[in-house]
Amino acid sequence: MAPKPLGYSYLIDHYDLAARPLPVVARLDNRVKGRKTRRQGNQDVQLFETKYQPEDNLVGHIQFALRYEGINLEVLELLFEKAGEEEIGAWINASPQSAYARRIGFMFEWLTGRQLEPSVASKAGFVPVLDITLQFGPNDGERDSRFRVINNLPGTNEFCPLVRRTPYLEQMVSKNLRERTREVLAQYDQDLLRRAAAYLYLKETQSSFEVEREKPSASRAQRFAYLLRQADTQAPLTDERLYELQHAVVDPRFHEFTWRQAQNWVGRDRGYHKQIDFVPPRPGDLPALMRGLLETAGKQLDMDAVILATAIAFGFVFVHPFMDGNGRIHRYLIHEVLAKAGFTPRGIILPVSAVILANLDEYVEILENFSRPLLDRTEWNPDTPDVPAIGNDAIYYRFFDATPQAEFMYRALCRTVEEDLQKEVKFLLGFDRARTRLNDMYDWPGQSLDLFIRIVHQNDSKLSKSKRGSHFEWMTDEEVKTSEAVVAAEFEQNQK
């Protein structure tokens, strides 16, 4: 017997729902004992033995999905648009104590705005809407006395990405990178950390622009670095602040003062052909999407900071609310959410964009993990921009599975904390020691000492003939040899 779809897979097939491919699918398979998971293409396939077979109807498969797959708001909203009102109302009235019935009743009204007529037992114990053993969310939330549930969904009904608790994410959460960051920084004195912070703000600015293959003017780089320093001020994230950020990262000719009013797209214009890689939501859907994103960002959520930063930052870049500057603001938002959640110590920035730049193919793959399935269902021609796009409905940007993006974020932050942060601070230590020794040895004109150290360090402790001819012709062979040895020795000390 061929494996039979269960849970959300059954609901999508049976009701012909226009849902994206599920990241995890459930199947009934009489060839397995218990439960097994295998990787098949871009999906995890969960196989269940026949004893897991639910009642073969809408209620049975919804209950199975909530129990074993967690919450998929996209599928549920699409389902509720077509069916379910009578069956769910009857389910709640027949089983008013059922936690599954009450959770789905709450989500029906939360998603659709339509009211059921259930008879819920007033003495039923409160249960959380989101099962935090399956997906990340806050431990507490608003209590809904109508269904006796605790709304611990991390977002709103206008924007609520969810992240599954994969083995890798569980491992990363247990590492406690927040505390590990503090341990790393505690090894160095405050004066050095202040210098390191200034250097890291500059590096993050440069890397964020380089990801976009741009070289900003000095004034734009300075404005962006200034904004990065304001990320930990605890100022609320508002639409006005996002406009200010957009003004800081793009040329003044392209400043925007509201959400975009036209359909934008990501790709390449080859002149004879436009290669479209991604079509964001229609302009008319932006006010609700951005309202939901900003409300979610403003919540004081007791949940993992990296998961929350993923939802806000990647949610922003997927919504793409401006015509230009979205990518740089997206990377800025990573820092703002982490700083507000107390993940990053005040006055310090983690050079995440440098890690993204060093792993650009993986970063692009993570973005395409979201964009490819949408592109397959979207129709739009940039040559006729007044004709609205079809298929890029708001639901796909409002409710998405952000697990792949969260795993990428944790990989980037783990490398940042365990490798790059220490490497940058050690670079400054080596630079300071080399500068002190060489300054005592020779009379260096102007800014030539700092330039010498950087050039020699970047060239495996050797001064090239071209650099010597253009900048250090005044140095004797012995002075060059001695100075090279000093630079090599002081930076080598960092490796011990």
pLDDT confidence of 1, banded at 50, 70, 90? low
Binned at pLDDT 50, 70 and 90, residue 494 comes out as: low
pLDDT at 496: 56
Query: What pLDDT sits at residue 363?
Result: 92
Among 7-11, 93-97, 189-193, 293-297, the range scoring the smallest mean pLDDT is 189-193
> Tokens 């924007």 belong to which residue?
159
What one-letter code names the amino acid at 475? M
**Three-state SS for 119?**
coil
Tell me what pLDDT residue 121 has: 65
Region of 263 please: left (phi>0), alpha (psi -120 to 50) or beta: beta
What pLDDT score does 43 carry? 84
Other residues' Cβ atoms within 10 Å of the Cβ of residue 95: 15
**What was the pLDDT predicted at 7?**
96
The DSSP annotation for 185-228 comes to HTTS-HHHHHHHHHHHHHHHHHHHHHHTT----HHHHHHHHHHH
pTM of the full structure: 0.89
Distance CA 227, CA 221 (A): 10
The number of residues making up the chain comes to 496
Q: What is the pLDDT of residues 256-277, one digit of tens each?
A: 999 999 999 988 877 667 788 8
Q: What's the pLDDT at 9?
A: 97
Instruction: Report, as an integer, the average pLDDT of 221-247.
Output: 84
Contact 289, 158 (CB under 8 A): yes
pLDDT score recorded for residue 255: 94
Residues 310-319 have pLDDT tens digits of 999 999 999 9
How much of the chain exceeds pLDDT 70, in percent? 98
Q: What is the identity of the amino acid at 403?
A: T
**What are the backbone angles phi and psi of residue 4, rounded to the nearest 5°?**
-105, 135
